[in-house]
Amino acid sequence: MRDQLRVLKHGLIASWTMYSAFQTWKSWTFMWLSRLLVQACFYALIGRMLGSQEQVDYLLVGNLVAIMAIDATVVILLAVGERQSGTLALMVAAPSTHLTVYLGRGLVNLGSGVAVSTTAFLVLPPLFDVRLPWPGAALVPLMVLVVGLSCYCYGTCVASFVLGFPSARWLALNMSYLVLMTFCGVNVPTSYWPDWLRAVTSVLPMTHGLTAIRAFIAEGPASTVLLNLVLELGVAAAWLAVAAVSFNRMVRRGRRDGTIEFSG
């Protein structure tokens, strides 16, 4: 366990070094944060055009959570980038499981996503007359973090499958978070979809976590909120388990046929 934590720590340090070299507080605030805030506003304005405050509430809350998933799934680009840069073989040599190495690569982006979503929850609801249950709403960032962890495990799993196809990394990233935004109750209730598709959405990240956040904001039963948060953590664990199996399989195959350093 000590080796796992040490590798995770150094992976986080390396991730922060790369992130801070690329992103300053000015570029993060005025380019990334503002871009995602505008995206959430766009959907809330659709609710305004429909003339329904209920639609405004639904669309804004859904998209305030969804913008976090964009940052969380960036782990797909970071993980695949290691193979493109030829450092995959070195990372595999770390004294820990392969999954631990990759988990440390995008934790800074996960933190960025939670920060963006939290900022959005502070700034945008008053602009669109969306009522939050203060002071209890201070717990919303913790729920967003649970959803973020689930999306991060999901992104790590997707990355494990895309490692063999580096040129598809951007397609995989965009499809990954767009699937969540489309089917997990962000803009359309999951009840809208047929039964078989609702069964699929129940194993996707964000579905249960967003339900918990909506119930909390509506001051629904605490049991509903807690149950959905537990289900969200269960979904995260399932995606993490699949990612572990997939990464190990990829590494074993790469060692066997000599393609572990493949960077095309």
User: Quick one: pLDDT at residue 162?
Assistant: 85
Which residues are CB-neighbours of 196 under 8 A, at least 6 positions away? Answer: none
Examine the pLDDT at 257 and tell me if it is beyond 50.
Answer: yes
Q: How far apart are CA 131 and CA 55, in angstroms?
A: 13
236 is a domain residue: yes
User: Quick one: pLDDT at residue 105?
Assistant: 72
Over residues 155-203, the pLDDT tens digits come to: 989 988 887 777 788 899 999 999 999 999 999 999 999 999 999 999 9
- Rg over alpha carbons for the chain, rounded to the nearest Å, is 19
191 is a domain residue: yes
Identity of the amino acid at 223: S
pLDDT over 90 for what percent of the chain?
Answer: 59
User: In the structure, what pLDDT confidence band is assigned to residue 258 with cuts at 50, 70 and 90?
Assistant: low
User: In the structure, what pLDDT confidence band is assigned to residue 89 with cuts at 50, 70 and 90?
Assistant: low
Question: Tokens 């980038």 belong to which residue?
Answer: 81
Identity of the amino acid at 241: A
Examine the pLDDT at 205 and tell me if it is beyond 90.
Answer: yes
pLDDT over 70 for what percent of the chain?
Answer: 83
Which residues are CB-neighbours of 184 under 8 A, at least 6 positions away? Answer: 190, 201, 204, 205, 206, 207, 210
Examine the pLDDT at 244 and tell me if it is beyond 90.
Answer: no
239 is a domain residue: yes
Nearest to 260 by CA among 145, 164, 196: 164
Give the sign of the dihedral formed by CA 113, CA 75, CA 105, CA 85: negative
Q: How far apart are CA 251 and CA 245, in angstroms?
A: 10
263 is a domain residue: no
Lowest mean pLDDT among 73-77, 80-84, 201-205, 206-210: 80-84
131 is a domain residue: yes
Nearest to 206 by CA among 34, 89, 73: 73
User: In the structure, what pLDDT confidence band is assigned to residue 214 with cuts at 50, 70 and 90?
Assistant: very high
Examine the pLDDT at 51 and tell me if it is beyond 50.
Answer: yes
How far apart are the two ends of the chain, measured CA to CA in Å?
A: 34
Kindly state the average pLDDT of the residues 134-156.
94
Over residues 29-45, the pLDDT tens digits come to: 998 999 999 999 999 99
84 is a domain residue: yes
Q: Please tell me the total count of domains within the chain.
A: 1
121 is a domain residue: yes
User: Quick one: pLDDT at residue 91?
Assistant: 59
User: Quick one: pLDDT at residue 88?
Assistant: 60
User: Quick one: pLDDT at residue 142?
Assistant: 95
Q: Which residue range(s) make up the domain with 198?
A: 2-257
Examine the pLDDT at 10 and tell me if it is beyond 80.
Answer: no
Is pLDDT larger for residue 254 or for residue 224? 224
User: Quick one: pLDDT at residue 87?
Assistant: 60
264 is a domain residue: no
Lowest mean pLDDT among 86-90, 131-135, 145-149, 215-219: 86-90
Examine the pLDDT at 264 and tell me if it is beyond 50.
Answer: no
